[in-house]
Chains A and B, each alone.
Chain A
Amino acid sequence: MASNFTHFLISFGDDPQQLEAFKQDPHAVLDAAGLTPAEKTLLLSGNKQLIRSALLADTDLKQALGIPAHQNLTANLPTFIIVS
């Protein structure tokens, strides 16, 4: 999943026109991006946690984040608490 799918998601960060096109007609943009049926279904689900879980199921992405292979996945890393 990693490269084409992640590059597609990253591309929205610097292409507001593509983002707008996606909001208008997600199917057309997903078809044009050449994503797999599973990836399209995932994005069309609109479920952020599902997308995150799918990304973390990818060994390479899990390793990129620094999560050991044996460790269970987490939906959100806790942020940085400061209690003095």
Chain B
Amino acid sequence: MKPGSLTVVGTGIQFAGQITLEARAHIKQAEKVLFLVTDPITADWIRDVNPTAESLYPCYQQGKSRMIAYVEMIERILSEVRKGLRVCAVFYGHPGIFVYPSHEAISRARLEGFSAKMLPGISAEDCLFADLGIDPARTGCQSFEATDFLIHKRKFDTGCSLILWQIGCIGDLTFNLGPYDSRGFHVLTEYLCQYYDATHPVIIYEAAEYPIFDPTIERVPLAKLPEAQISPISTLYIPPQTEASLDYEMLDRLGIDLHLLVSAPQTIDIPAESSAL
């Protein structure tokens, strides 16, 4: 194995408190840290832990394709690994969820003969399960990036939970400092109304980045979605509308006693939408 290595870690969603002990140790002991986070406090904290830390944010440019920015980030990361350094790349949330450059940097580093690995982190989905009190094991859970969901016409089941990410920037593949066009959000609502009742309650969710604030949890009827306040990091949670039926033949084949099946109803306890103040 060549000298030089890459470890990719995540900061979690909430600064400082959600980073794992092993991720922090890797940041601390790296010979070069490169990071892409959304919060200035997290950036400051990373620099405190390791003074070699450098932001990948300059790869972004207004109006430029995000994919071009990601390719530049990958090259920037690999250039440090090729110097023979122990490199730690840090991303917001879980470094492997909705992070193209992290997976690609690891693949390329391995192809070039370097040791490369990813450590898990706390993702926005983890926060959503905790904040909304949802156990994905109950009804199953489907999770899609919103633009991807629409343009590929992904198949889904209205009897399972459905989570759609990045509903605030549907159809926009550029890096955009200003507000995103909400046209795609209207399209999404119309599309979902073909499968769900217009009155079906859905939740717009944003995990809390600051410990002193509560997460954003706004419950609205599906048809009223376009009137809701959303941001580029808003997520849409759609609870199941229908109950899944049992396949009795499969129960029989698997030897499952029907009486042992416990089907607990799932309720969503939504805390009042307010800050901690």
Contact = CB atoms under 8 A, between A and B. Distances in A.
Interface of A: 2, 6, 9-10, 12-14, 19, 22-23, 26, 43-44, 46, 48, 51-52, 55-56, 58, 60-62, 64-68, 71-72, 74-84
A14 B14 CA distance: 11
Contacts of B125: none
Contacts of B151: 83
**Best-buried of B37, B39, B47, B147 by chain A (most CB within 10 Å):** B39
A81 B169 CA distance: 9
Contact of B213 (A2, A48, A65, A75): A48
A78 B172 CA distance: 10
A66 B57 contact: yes
**Best-buried of A51, A61, A64, A74 by chain B (most CB within 10 Å):** A64
A12 B175 contact: no
Interface string B83-120: 00000000110000011110000000000000000000
Contacts of A62: 40
Given A80-B100, A82-B148, A46 B41 contact: no
Interface stretch (B155-163, B189-197, B204-212): B204-212
Interface string B45-72: 1010000001111101010001000100
Nearest to A74: B177
Nearest to B16: A13
Given A19-B211, A80-B101, A81-B169, A64 B47 contact: yes
A59 to B, nearest CB: 11
Given A6-B40, A66-B56, A80-B70, 19 more contacts: A9-B211, A10-B45, A13-B16, A22-B276, A43-B212, A48-B209, A55-B41, A56-B40, A61-B43, A71-B62, A74-B177, A77-B232, A79-B165, A80-B101, A81-B66, A81-B166, A81-B169, A83-B147, A83-B173
Interface string B254-277: 000000000000000000000111
Contacts of A81: 66, 98, 100, 145, 147, 166, 169, 173
B66 A65 contact: no
B19 to A, nearest CB: 8
B199 interface: no
Nearest to B17: A13
Interface in B1-52: 14-18, 37-41, 43-45, 47
B57 A80 contact: no
Contact of B40 (A13, A19, A26, A65): A65
Nearest to A24: B276
A64 B55 contact: yes
13 contacts: A9-B210, A10-B16, A13-B15, A23-B212, A23-B276, A46-B276, A64-B40, A66-B54, A67-B57, A78-B180, A80-B91, A81-B147, A83-B173
Nearest to A11: B16
A65 B41 CA distance: 8
